Structure 1
Amino acid sequence: MSDSVLDSRLLTLGRTLGVDSGETLPLGVRLERIAESVATDTARLWLALAAISAQFPFVSDFERFRRDAALNGTVHALEAAVKHSRRLRAPNRSVEVRIVTGGVFVDVHHTSRTGLATGIQRVVRQTIVEWNDRTGVELVGWDPGFTGLRQLSAPERQNALYGSVPRIARASKWQLTIPYQSRYILPELAIETDRTARLQCFAEFSGNRTGVIGFDCVPLTSSETVGEGMSAAFAKNLAALAHFDQVSTISVAAATEYRGWKRMLGGAGLTGPEIEPLLLPSVAEQVSAPEFAEATKKLVEGSDPLVVCVGSHEPRKNHLAVLFAAERLWREGVSFQLVFIGGNGWHGDEFRAQLDTLATQGRPVRAISAVSDSLLWSAYRLARVTIFPSLNEGFGLPVGESLAAGTPVITSNFGSMKEIAISGGAIFVDPRDDDDVFRGLKAGLLDDELHARLVLEAQDLPARDWSDYASELWEYFEAVPGSSPSA
């Protein structure tokens, strides 16, 4: 690290702390002035270490630094941090820092760099679009090594908001962004090892207010259905969240899972965050006549009724049960066509093999991935019914989206899926009972009186849009934990 980079970091730190640490002063004097302001304050110690090293510390690094300050004095600890920073490898030794007081930082690292438009990304983008113009809000990501936060590039920001620039080169230069006396919000799932480890230290010691959207605890409660290593990565995510202030879950069912985890924290002497549910909205997007006509050509073959199943092809989504029920109905002579919409997921090989076998036998079934929003919403409207018999969901967007489009849904009789559809428009089934899934699909296809009633129920459901959700979520994160948002 060059003297000029160190000078810049110390000057920025001194300004934030309200002390003169200008580069014209000897290094020892500058560190003494900073040390006098920092003293033994935990949040200021974290800030000083992050600013001098130009990276968010791990818990072990911070504890070592704080103990050095307590045993040998804060000046000694700062001097040791400077020496260590001089030995950092590129590119971190040349990184400059900016410290922002009183801001709101929304961490959308993964969303800003992915072309995925799955459940989590849809929630993130719909939410941050509503927050984008609020004063003090800054969308941030992480540097390539996950050492700390940085401002997004213009293409990353565009992709975070709209998903329109999915392939972006990694940043080669960046400035570390350090929140101080600010609010940090994580609306997506963070599972990268260093990212969650540094967030754990940040949440515990930095003094910033922290909030997160809690999607589900599926990697713990249904670990047999997730990809290799996901449960371990999610456990690290929870280790960080244990020190957050607030978790806003996307359903009551998800809150039940997170509250169960929170109760376990008592065994480790931890209080854990406040956990409050805020149900996601379900809003049908408009589709133009040309888009609808094009989608009809792509999705519908002939005059048989269409059944749509939306979701990634992973075991938890229970698509093999859908195929089994469909094959039983085809063998009984029931005519319909089945379209799966969603990308490939982990452990999806058996589903793909069974799908290919049925298609080879002439069954009217296929899978489509990487669809546009217009095609997805056209599919909901073209379907006689949709089917979503998932084994576990934090929310289950396809359930809410189908009902918002006015199309009845066959879904699981528990958890968030029942929570979403309890007011009408759904046929509930036991997803672990093949006979019950078969019964539900058969009723949805053949019982015209039931179908007509469900359509009316779906059309009469109360409307709540993403603007409402984003405002309620913002109000919750602004509230002091433990009080009502309106207090």
Structure 2
Amino acid sequence: MWLRIRGPQPDPAGQLWIRSDWYDAPVRIGIDARKLHDFGIGTYIRNLLRQLARLDRDTEFVVFCGPNDVAQLKGLGPNFRPVIELAGNYSVAEQVRIPLAVRREGVALFHAPHYVLPPLVPCRSVVTIHDCIHLMFPQYLPGRFALAYARTAMSLASRRATRILTVSESSKRDIVRFFGTEPQKIDVIPNAFDDYFGVEPREEDMIRVRERYQLHDEFVLYAGNVKPHKNLERLIEAFHLVRKRGLDHLKLVLIGDKISKYAALRRAVHRHQLHKYVRFLGYMPQETLAVMYRLAGVFVFPSLYEGFGLPPLEAMASGTPVVTSNVSSLPEVAGDAALLVDPYDPQAIADGIYQVLADAGLRRDLRAKGLARARQFSWETSVRRIRDIYREVGAEPLLAGAETRAAAAEHQRRP
């Protein structure tokens, strides 16, 4: 991607137009990668950077990151330049340090891959708002200050950004509803699954994982965190109902946070005397999770709210039948390739699980449809669209002022 600013030429409205057909020097794009190792947003950032490295060898990318990530990011290519940024996520410091770093590095376009876009960022910007979960479930935040910070940051980002990206039509509707954003300012670009979920594991890996976790009985699988909106209390109740219908050999395996975080889940297990049949395994490597999907009889994801809902897509890519919620973004991710149920009704969840486990024809149908559905999602396709948006933003108006004129002069001085 190339850009030369042809001397500041403000129009009568005081705006400087930077046109894409004037490209003859590299555009410098900044990407905030401080959350590179987060569970959800980290997956988004890693795939964004990986695909940009494959697709674009011309644009200069300045990647703001932690000190331990410098070596890894340098490996993306000569046009990727990691810059250490020590400001903490969701801190007051990032509101000042990020704009200063953007200005210091001469960034022409800045991408914030989560909802924090400091208003002092001095250039065009793209922000990805994945969901509005902090506003939907404020009890997850540590206090009133955190809620005020999240609400203010999202509101400012939605107004300040040149373009907003989100990952589902459901999230787009939430952004419009909460912040009054013009719908045409928001682009929906879906997430995708990592490649190893679509690759058949080696037989020895399947045997190793089965033996390590003693998975010799048929089991229902859930993967994700254990926060209340994931609806695991109702899943445990639904599992109890399924076992009462004659599937008393069945186990429930939950992969994610430690059970100690939410005592209500342990109480739900003991209330139904399921302590021998429900297992909480904590987080595990993605390669192991890919095997777990394939060993499961059915994957169940009864969440009450998701910005996207990646685990059902990973399960479908693995050829595992999926039962998931009929609310939020999950129907648009699953399409007709999963059994959709009312997540507020444990009996409906139980019926969905029982149908899949009791009907071999339905399992075959869901596997085939799931694999076909998963093929419609691709990180390469999504990042190509993000790269197109970078180009489109490069041709949109930018307010002309002293900082813009200085940037223009600096670009013109460069060879």
Residue 187 of structure 2 corresponds to which residue in structure 1?
Answer: 276
1:228 to 1:444, Cα distance in 2 relative to 1, 3 A: farther
Distance 1:404 1:450 in 2: 17
Kept in 2: contact 1:291–1:374 (CA 8 A): no
Distance, in Å, in 2 between the alignment partners of 1:328 and 1:433 is: 12
The equivalent residue for 1:201 is 120
**Structure 2 match to 1:418:** 331
Change (3 A) 1:449 1:136: same
For the pair 1:455 / 2:367, whether they are aligned, the reply is yes
Q: Counterpart of 1:185? A: 111
Partner of 1:372: 285
Residue 342 (structure 2) pairs with residue 430 (structure 1):
yes
Separation (CA, whole Å) in 1 of partners of 2:323 and 2:207: 26
Instruction: Kindly indicate whether the alpha-carbon contact (under 8 Å) linking 1:411 and 1:427 is maintained by their aligned counterparts in 2.
Output: yes
1:106 aligns with 2:20: no
* Aligned-pair identity (%): 21
Three-state SS of the structure 1 residue aligned to 2:339 is strand
Q: How far is 1:467 from its partner?
A: 1.8
Q: Partner residue of 1:324?
A: 237
Deviation at 1:399, TM superposition (A): 1.1
Q: 1:176 to 1:246 in 2, by over 3 A?
A: closer
Aligned: 1:382 with 2:298:
no
Residue 330 of structure 1 and its aligned partner are, at CA, apart by 2.3
Q: Is the 8 A contact 2:29 2:61 kept in 1?
A: yes
1:240–1:359 CA distance, 2 compared to 1 (3 A): same
Structure of higher RCO (CA pairs closer than 8 Å, 6+ residues apart)? 2
- Is 1:291 the equivalent of 2:210? no
Q: CA RMSD in A?
A: 3.5
Task: State the Cα distance separating 1:106 from its structure 2 match.
Answer: 0.3
Please tell me the residue identity of whatever aligns with 1:236: T
TM-score by length of 2: 0.74
The 5-angstrom pairing of residues 145-224 of structure 1 reads: 153=67, 155-156=69-70, 158=72, 176-178=101-103, 179-180=105-106, 182-190=108-116, 199-202=118-121, 206=122, 208-223=123-138
Partner of 1:239: 155
Are 1:441 and 2:353 an aligned pair?
A: yes
Distance, in Å, in 1 between the alignment partners of 2:152 and 2:389 is 25
Q: Which amino acid aligns with 2:64?
A: V
- Distance in 2 (CA, whole Å) between partners of 1:414 and 1:181 is 40
Q: Which residue of 2 aligns with 1:137?
A: 61
Cα pair distance change 1:103/1:321, threshold 3 Å = same
Q: Is it true that 1:404 corresponds to 2:317 in the alignment?
A: yes
What residue is the counterpart of 2:268 in the other structure? 354
Does the Cα contact within 8 Å between 2:32 and 2:112 map onto a contact in 1?
yes
2:344 match: secondary structure: coil
The alpha-carbon distance between structure 1 residues 273 and 392, as it changes in their structure 2 partners (threshold 3 A), is same
Task: Give the superposition deviation at 1:458.
Answer: 1.6
How far residue 463 of structure 1 moved from its aligned partner, in angstroms, is 4.0
Task: Report the secondary structure of 2:119's partner residue.
Answer: helix
CA contact (8 A) 1:339 1:366 kept: yes
Render the CA deviation track for 1:204-241: whole Å, top value 9, x for unaligned: xx2x1100122111222344566645533320221331
CA distance in 1, matches of 2:127, 2:307: 14
Amino acid at match of 2:149: A
CA shift in 2, pair 1:345/1:473, >3 Å = farther
User: Does the Cα contact within 8 Å between 1:406 and 1:455 map onto a contact in 2?
Assistant: yes
Pick closer, same or farther for the CA change 1:316–1:448 going to 2, 3 Å: same
- The alpha-carbon distance between structure 1 residues 372 and 437, as it changes in their structure 2 partners (threshold 3 A), is same
Distance in 2 (CA, whole Å) between partners of 1:323 and 1:136 is: 50
The alpha-carbon distance between structure 1 residues 281 and 176, as it changes in their structure 2 partners (threshold 3 A), is closer
* Contact 1:308/1:387 (<8 A) preserved: yes
Q: Which has the larger radius of gyration?
A: 1
d(CA) in 2 for partners of 1:373, 1:359: 31
Number of residue equivalences: 348
Regions of 4+ moved over 4 Å? 159-162, 168-171, 174-177, 224-230, 344-347, 358-362
The change in CA–CA distance for 1:223 and 1:350 in structure 2 (over 3 A counts) is same
Change (3 A) 1:129 1:437: same
Mapped partners of 2:344, 2:74: distance in 1: 37
> Is the Cα–Cα contact under 8 Å of residues 28 and 62 in structure 2 kept in the other structure?
yes
Contact 1:226–1:316 (CA<8 Å) still a contact in 2?
no
TM-aligned CA deviation for residue 314 of structure 1: 0.2
Deviating more after overlay: 392-401 vs 179-188: 179-188
Q: Distance in 2 between matches of 1:210 and 1:128?
A: 17
Q: Distance in 2 between matches of 1:346 and 1:250?
A: 31
Q: 1:251 aligns with which of 146, 164, 168?
A: 168
Alignment partners' CA distance in 2, 1:310 and 1:373: 11
- Partner deviation per Cα, 1:135-174 (whole Å, 9 max, x = no partner): 2111114xxxxxxxxxx53634528999xxxxx9969xx9
- Asked whether the equivalents of residues 284 and 377 of structure 1 are also in contact (C-alpha less than 8 Å), the reply is no
Q: Equivalents in 2 of 1:122, 1:161: separation in Å?
A: 18
- Closer/same/farther in 2, CA of residues 289 and 227 from structure 1, 3 Å limit: farther
Q: Distance in 2 between matches of 1:225 and 1:209?
A: 32
The residue matched to 1:415 in structure 2 has which SS? coil
- Structure 1 residues 200 and 466: CA distance shift in structure 2, 3 A: same
Q: Does 1:311 align with 2:236?
A: no
Cα distance in 2, alignment partners of residues 121 and 176 from structure 1: 21
Aligned AA for 2:72?
Q
CA distance in 1, matches of 2:254, 2:141: 20
Distance 1:177 1:260 in 2: 31
Instruction: Provide structure 2 residue ranges, at least 5 long, that are not aligned to the other structure.
Output: 1-6, 8-13, 17-25, 77-83, 88-96, 397-415
Q: Name whichever of 228-237 and 242-251 sits farther off.
A: 228-237
CA distance in 1, matches of 2:240, 2:73: 40
Q: Alignment partner of 1:387: what SS?
A: strand
Per the TM alignment, residue 283 of structure 1 is displaced from its structure 2 partner at its CA by 4.8
CA deviations on 1:337-373 (whole Å, 9 max, x unpaired) are 1111112499623124434x37975532111123011
Displacement of 1:103 after TM fit? 1.1
CA distance in 2, matches of 1:187, 1:246: 12
Matching residue of 1:148 = none
Distance change >3 Å, CA 313–CA 159, structure 1 → 2:
farther
Q: 1:262 to 1:438 in 2, by over 3 A?
A: same
